[in-house]
A = this chain, B = another copy of it.
Amino acid sequence: MTQKQRRKPGETRDKLMRAALDLVGKGRHFASLGIREVTRQAGVVPTSFYRHFRNMDDLGLQLVDELGLVLRRMMRETRANASQAEKLMSESVATFVSHVQANRSFFLFMAQGMAGESRAVQDAIRSEMRFFSSELANDLRRLRLVDHLNDSDLNMVCDLVVRAVAFSLPDLLWVSPDDGYQTDLIREQTTRYLQLIFVGAANWKSQ
């Protein structure tokens, strides 16, 4: 009787994805979420779920797509700040950290999905990371910072960089969101990792 019914197309769909994300943000693991639980959190009747998703895995996949958008936006912003090579690393890390803070649930979901039970979600996340790595390689080539490295070695360096940053994710998500002190420590430490890697890259002899 008091139903409004489709004010905006995809409104309930968004509510459901947001609800799942909120539950993840509250500490639940995505793999343990149920349809009823998500619809309850979204304030929607369970049957509505099937209008938009076939099952929870499907919802997870669509979440990864949105996650992709967040990551692209982050990458673009990182590139914009990559003016001088001097503070390039520390500012890139800072951008990453602030995006994690701003989209905590999303990155929580991503960290879970890396070892999740849906192969498709794993694939999607891995390919997202590969994309990151290859774009980073392009940028470094363009900035002529790595002329002494061949392609294979450059890719290795970039892979390691992406991994080092990605592995700070559990650290970031582990500390309280508003613990600025710990967050600073992680930011600083991750930056040092990158510096170490680049010292290695600078002294690396290809072939």
Contact = CB atoms under 8 A, between A and B. Distances in A.
Interface stretch (A8-16, A42-50, A65-73, A111-119): A111-119
> What number of copies of this chain does the assembly contain?
2
Nearest to A115: B111
Interface residues of A, number: 37
Contacts of A156: 189, 192-193, 196
Contacts of A114: 111, 115, 170
A204 B203 CA distance: 10
* Majority-rule SS of A interface residues: helix
Interface string A172-200: 01100000000000000100110011111
Interface in A12-71: 27-29, 31-32
Closest 10 CB pairs of A and B: A200-B200, A29-B31, A111-B115, A29-B117, A199-B200, A31-B32, A196-B200, A163-B167, A203-B203, A112-B115
Nearest to A155: B189
Nearest to A170: B114
Interface in A76-94: none
Contacts of A75: none
Nearest to A116: B29
A126 interface: yes
Contacts of A163: 163-164, 167, 193
Interface in A100-151: 108, 111-112, 114-117, 122, 126
B126 A115 contact: no
A122 B31 contact: no
A156 B192 CA distance: 8
